[in-house]
Structure 1
Amino acid sequence: MARRTAASSYDERDVKVRPGRGSRPRSKLRPAHADAIPALVVAVDRGRYTCVLDGRTVTAMTARELGRKAVVVGDRVGLVGEVSGAPGTLARIVRVEQRATVLRRSADDDDPVERVIVANADQLMIVTAVADPEPRPRLIDRALVAAFDAGIEPLLCITKADLADPAPLVDAYAPLQVPAVVARRSPGTETTDVREVAEHLRDHVTVLIGHSGVGKSTLVNQLVPGADRATGKVNVVTGRGRHTSTSAVALPLPDGGWVIDTPGIRSFGLAHVDPNRLILAFPDLAAETPACPRGCHHFDGAPECALDVALAAGRVDPDRLASYRRLLASRDGQAGD
């Protein structure tokens, strides 16, 4: 047989082309997962999500198609795969439903990164002790700003009322029309009477926040029998509590609703909050602001601010305006503890 010449031996049909990595066209279509089962995320731990559905607990991970979308406690999700909840099984979260509310904070006021604390809460209970440790009004103010910005109803819960009179603290927030509940220890015991607190939480999804040592986990343990949240003591030197809760967890209340316990916080950054939105939480004050000059931020002493005109005319409550401006100052880091 005659040899092929170099020029005639091969042509392009002889070359086997192997597709390179990533050369396969990616479809933008994603599975609809119409059969996904709805569930509620109640805990998050190192990439594993504890979900509840139909009275059982299921462990899940996020599906690849969700990408970097964060899933947090309180999210309502769709699950596929192994949803029996049997030991060693793992379901997949394939969908995160639209959130009704999002409570978020930043590490500080200069940090542009928002950290979502919980989703779909309709009530924020700010827990503070009247003493041991001392109240931190600036943290309370900042939590109120976050609640107003998120459209979540705030509730002030004052603990350790047997150590000091809670009335001054309650009165300080009365102009903001923030409801307050006082949790007192039962005489001669270490047990706190939580019946009034439970009434405020019934049929709500309530997230608890507060700095360490104020008694959040103690409240949760009495509100939810068997919760077994770790509790700690206040450091006698620093006057601060020790972090006992390390992650957020949602727990069902015996009489209906959910309570979400969160780790104690030392700071509450509000870089994500637009000060111009805060006025919307105060309809009586917002009604006066159309007469403000353009760009007015409504601070105390702002030139030609219509709120000062309304104050002089007696159209706004002076205590309420002062409280609103205190929140503004807290948002901009101008107020101390």
Structure 2
Amino acid sequence: MRRREYDEDDVRVRPGRGSRPRTRIRPAHESAVEGFVVAVDRGRYTCLVSGDGGGRRGRRQGERDVVAMKARELGRKGIVVGDRVALVGDTSGNPDTLARIVRVEERRSILRRSADDTDDGVERPIVANADQLVIVTALADPPPRPRMIDRMLVAAFDAEIDSLLCLTKSDLAPPDEIVALYAPLEVPYVVVHKGGSLDELREHLVDRISVLVGHSGVGKSTLVNALVPDANRAVAQVNAVTGRGRHTSTSAVALRLPEGGWIIDTPGVRSFGLAHISTETVVAAFPDLVEGTVECPKGCTHLGEGCALDAWVEAGHADRARLDSLRRLLASREGAEA
């Protein structure tokens, strides 16, 4: 019996999993509905969607909350509270349903921070599309932290959004010293205390998207509960030993104001890294000092010897405390102490 001879035509090659032609053309999702991200929790995004249907608690007639996940096609693109997104899938908002976020619209602004000053410039988006940053700080219990305030002002400057100082607990200490410290920067401020009128603060917030940021224990959650009665944000007392507050807000959430506009409450922070922001941007956030850097030598770090800012301050063009604050920021970015 003659043995059969085989050639290449008899060999079958099973196609691999990656043999399908790949394309960069992605679906346009013209039928996607628009949503506003109001909360983020462990990979799930709560989005406010307008449309038919009854309003839920805290929602206007025709609005509904839709829980969604990020579509794989978005890759590693981050989504934060304040983002405007496009959703497909089950957008009914019914219990146990899940939609997909397939597009993040262009942002008007993005507030960012680094985890710390040695974070290799890795920026962490906090909130998108905000109009202003409300820096909440107590006048006492715990005492003000000007260095933290300065950092937040720099972050707001980098994001190109307005800043507002909200000084709480004025029944415990006067605001004069902290107000005088920031007078050269012309940062607007409001002074409040528990149980007092919030009318002036509301005027700054109405019809705007405002981010409330402050370290733990300054009374931010109490303030949010007064502005939005059904917010139910948890509050806690300041530790009598450490002088620090406990984190009561665990994630950012957007809340609609009864008068119009939104406030975004963020978790209390104990650090506000600026590693992602250049030295030039940090200096530019101090308009009372930036003109004095014109006479600085090339490559000046503005940290001491040879810096023209000392002469600028001695000539009375700026306050020494502002220069000290700037140098603390710059030194911390270099991992040194000012």
TM bracket, shorter-chain basis: 0.7 to 0.9
Structure 1, unaligned stretches of length 5 or more? 186-190
Q: Look up the match of 2:207.
A: 203
Kept in 1, the 8 Å contact 2:254–2:264? The answer is: yes
Kept in 1, the 8 Å contact 2:81–2:254? The answer is: yes
The structural deviation recorded for 1:89 is 1.5
Indicate yes or no: 2:146 matched with 1:148.
no
Distance in 2, matches of 1:275 and 1:95, equals 33
The structural deviation recorded for 1:87 is 1.5
Q: Look up the match of 2:37.
A: 41
Larger radius of gyration: 1
Q: Look up the match of 1:78.
A: 86
Residues 162, 283 of structure 1: CA spacing in aligned structure 2 closer, same or farther, 3 A cutoff?
closer
How much is the aligned-residue C-alpha RMSD, in angstroms?
2.2
Q: Give the partner amino acid of 2:32.
A: A
The structural deviation recorded for 1:310 is 5.7
Distance in 2, matches of 1:31 and 1:301, equals 58
Indicate yes or no: 2:118 matched with 1:120.
no
How high is the sequence identity, in percent, across the aligned residues? Answer: 62
Residues 13-68 of structure 1 deviation map (CA, whole Å, 9 limit, x = unaligned) = 33332222223232111112222222111100111000012122111111110011
Q: Give the partner amino acid of 2:3.
A: T
Distance in 2, matches of 1:4 and 1:66, equals 61
Q: Look up the match of 1:61.
A: 69
Q: 1:259 aligns with which of 255, 263, 279?
A: 263
Q: How does 1:245-324 map onto structure 2 within 5 Å?
A: 245-281=249-285, 285-286=289-290, 289-299=293-303, 301-303=305-307, 305=308, 317-319=317-319, 323=322
Q: Which moved more, 1:18-27 or 1:152-161?
A: 18-27
Question: How many pairs were matched up?
Answer: 322
Residues 91-124 of structure 1 deviation map (CA, whole Å, 9 limit, x = unaligned) = 1101111222111111211112221111111211
SS at match of 1:332: helix
Kept in 2, the 8 Å contact 1:298–1:325? The answer is: no
Q: 2:103 aligns with which of 90, 95, 115?
A: 95
Q: 2:217 aligns with which of 198, 213, 218?
A: 213
Distance in 2, matches of 1:335 and 1:177, equals 28
SS at match of 1:155: strand
TM-score where L is the length of structure 1: 0.88
TM-score where L is the length of structure 2: 0.88
Structure 2, unaligned stretches of length 5 or more? 51-62
SS at match of 2:241: coil
Kept in 1, the 8 Å contact 2:184–2:288? The answer is: no
Residues 163, 205 of structure 1: CA spacing in aligned structure 2 closer, same or farther, 3 A cutoff?
same
Distance in 2, matches of 1:39 and 1:53, equals 5
Distance in 2, matches of 1:86 and 1:124, equals 34
Residues 222, 4 of structure 1: CA spacing in aligned structure 2 closer, same or farther, 3 A cutoff?
farther
Kept in 1, the 8 Å contact 2:153–2:285? The answer is: no
The structural deviation recorded for 1:131 is 0.8
Residues 332, 97 of structure 1: CA spacing in aligned structure 2 closer, same or farther, 3 A cutoff?
farther
Kept in 2, the 8 Å contact 1:250–1:258? The answer is: yes
Residues 300, 138 of structure 1: CA spacing in aligned structure 2 closer, same or farther, 3 A cutoff?
same
SS at match of 1:260: strand
Q: Look up the match of 1:244.
A: 248
Residues 331, 145 of structure 1: CA spacing in aligned structure 2 closer, same or farther, 3 A cutoff?
farther
